[in-house]
Structure 1
Amino acid sequence: MARTSLTSLELLVAIDTSGSISAAARSLGHSQPTVSAGVRRLERTLGLRLVDRSPRGSVLTEDGTAAAAWARDVLTASDAFEASVSALRGQGGTAHLVVAASLTIAEHLVPGWLGAWRRRRSSDATERTPAAVELIVRNSAGVMRAVLDGEAEVGFVEGTEVLRGLRMRTVARDELVVVVDPAHPWARRRRPVTARDLATGSLVLREKGSGSRDTLERAIEAAGEVLPADLPQLGSTAAVKAALHEGDAVGVVSDLAVAAELAHGTLVRVPTDGLDLGRRLRLVTRTHGDLSPAARELVAMVGQASR
């Protein structure tokens, strides 16, 4: 069997992550025919049917899903190999790595990833290039734009759509939860809230471009409802949480962001019915162009941590 190219494996992983060939093409910045042709070549190389094709779209077969999981391992190992070789080359000077992340990821996941990355670098006797890290915190749309514009090498986002020209990889998952103040009537509600309840309730939203806002709007629309255009919009999760203690406001935020409040009882989680509020948290880099050694090391480390 001919050697499988890493580019082909990237296509397969993108389809698994995105859910379809068309979405994978958008995430990679390729045309749909280009991705389809690449998948057919990979199927011929492997001798397996990886994708079920129908007028309604294309999804991975059982073999395709299994192959995508193995492909992730290969890509992670490739990233680690390139990072290690770069370290051995000992490129002089001090590296400056700029990372962009959405607020929830920046507060709850990036510190752990950067800490593990620094520990790995400091314990590696072959590492000769010091690195200074700068973290940019923006909403998901701003993070993607920063990576596309070259302001940041690596980004972490919460949104469901990734801009053309970016490569993405799922590195974690979270779930949006409906939360209220303990004095709110919904705190004692026995029935789960529905999309209709949220659309007609006193929601306080994040701003447009926020990954949380994007996920909520899509979940509401999938349930056949539409959020009113005149709902209050706030620029941070902290502002949303503060608003919940004033009046009858209802918030929908990441479970990572309210874990402490739920544990201490200062906010109450309200069960939902008929709403898919789960999210994939993604690492994004530019489709074209090489990452610096420091960035490759971080990407490889986060990829290994997410396995």
Structure 2
Amino acid sequence: MTAPDSESLRLLVLVSELGSIGAAAAELHISQPSASKRLNRLERQLGLSLLERTRQGCAPTPAGEMVCGWAREVLAHVDGLMNGVRALRAQHESKLRVSASMTVAEYLVPRWISLLRQALPEVHLELDVTNSAAVADAVRHGHADLGFIETPDPPEGVSTRYVARDRMVVIAPPGHPWSRLRRPLTPSELAATPVIVREHGSGTRETLHRALAAVGATAVAPLLELRSTTAVRNAVVAGAGPAVLSTLAVATDLAENRLVEVPVAELDLRRPLHAVWRSGLQLTGPAAALLATAMRAPD
């Protein structure tokens, strides 16, 4: 014997309460013939006569009364289940967990969030700021609904979408010898000089090393290794040494002469910025809206 479906049980309970198959069918927005077929199928499934049909309507048989009582208990649990599911979905759809690499989080995500909240003011957004490798891990393991990374090549195991293009520059404090060069720095000179860098897993560091490797150069050990873009920028401003950072992070400093951009010959320091999310999932709700907002924003 197969278990009856909840809608057939709901129909049986309504017939018992309303005394009419037609009235119960109207309550469930189905036709009376369809309701009669469903009740006949339910009786065959259970091997019991559940309803006594008369010209005045329908009334449950003694067996039907007992089945209706059990059905009410089952339906109460089903309704509780569905109410709980709807509450969970509403909570999930109004909450967005975002993980973003440092440069994107500090200089691009705030504007994207502002635009998103104009369209979806009820969304509660949580932003985790970390490096690109950690962003990819958060997305893979379901700890973030959407991520933004700076690595030259998107990581494996995630779905990706190009969002924007960024350019990195070599920067130095105004008194640094590189600030007085009358020619572009060579890639080998840059590689041979200890510079201030981000930690391993950073898209900024990986972009620099890949760009140098593309022209046959290998960077020496760093001068300092710091865990945030702001810390690297502050160290350069303080005169600690040169570094390579996104133009997003140092545009104001360059314009106000707190830092100097050092040209480098034949070194491509451009990089794509990607959105990432868990492989095999389709973005919906606020996550899809934030991705669309990021892609509409100018490079």
TM, length-normalised to structure 1: 0.65
Residues 106 and 230 of structure 1, relative CA distance in 2, 3 Å threshold: closer
- 2:181 equivalent to 1:182: no
Letter in 1 for 2:293: M
Counterpart-to-counterpart distance in 2, 1:235 and 1:149: 23
Q: Which residue of 2 aligns with 1:105?
A: 104
Distance 1:173 1:133 in 2: 25
1:116 is paired with a residue whose SS is helix
CA contact (8 A) 1:168 1:283 kept: yes
* Aligned twin of 2:116: 117
Q: What 5-or-longer segments of structure 2 have no aligned partner? A: 1-88
Secondary structure at the counterpart of residue 192 of structure 1: coil
Deviations 1:273-296 (A, max 9, x none): 010000111111122124341212
Q: 1:133 aligns with which of 97, 104, 125?
A: 125
Look up the SS of the partner of 1:257 in the other structure: helix
* 8 Å CA contact retained: 2:173, 2:259: yes
Task: Please say which structure displays the higher CA radius of gyration.
Answer: 2
Percent of pairs with identical residues: 43
- Are 1:202 and 1:248, in contact at CA under 8 Å, matched by a contact in 2? no
RMSD of Structure 2 on Structure 1 (CA): 1.8
Q: Report which structure shows greater RCO (CA 8 Å, sep ≥6).
A: 1
> Does the CA contact (< 8 Å) of 2:171 and 2:242 recur in 1?
yes
Aligned partner of 1:196 in structure 2 is 188
Amino acid at match of 2:155: L
CA–CA distance in 1 between the matches of 2:213 and 2:151? 15
Q: Specify the SS of the correspondent of 2:120.
A: helix
* Cα distance in 2 for residues equivalent to 1:258 and 1:216: 16
Q: Which of residues 184, 198, 205 is equivalent to 1:206?
A: 198
**Do 2:194 and 2:220's aligned partners in 1 also have CA atoms closer than 8 Å?**
no
| Structure 1: distance between partners of 2:286 and 2:180 | 50
- Corresponding position: 1:259 with 2:251: yes
Counterpart-to-counterpart distance in 2, 1:247 and 1:134: 35
CA offsets, 1:18-38, max 9 Å, x none?
A: xxxxxxxxxxxxxxxxxxxxx
Length-normalised TM-score, structure 2 = 0.66
Contact kept? 2:195, 2:222, Cα under 8 Å: no
What residue ranges of structure 1 are gaps of 5+ in the alignment?
A: 1-90, 123-129
Pairs within 5 Å for 1:48-67: none
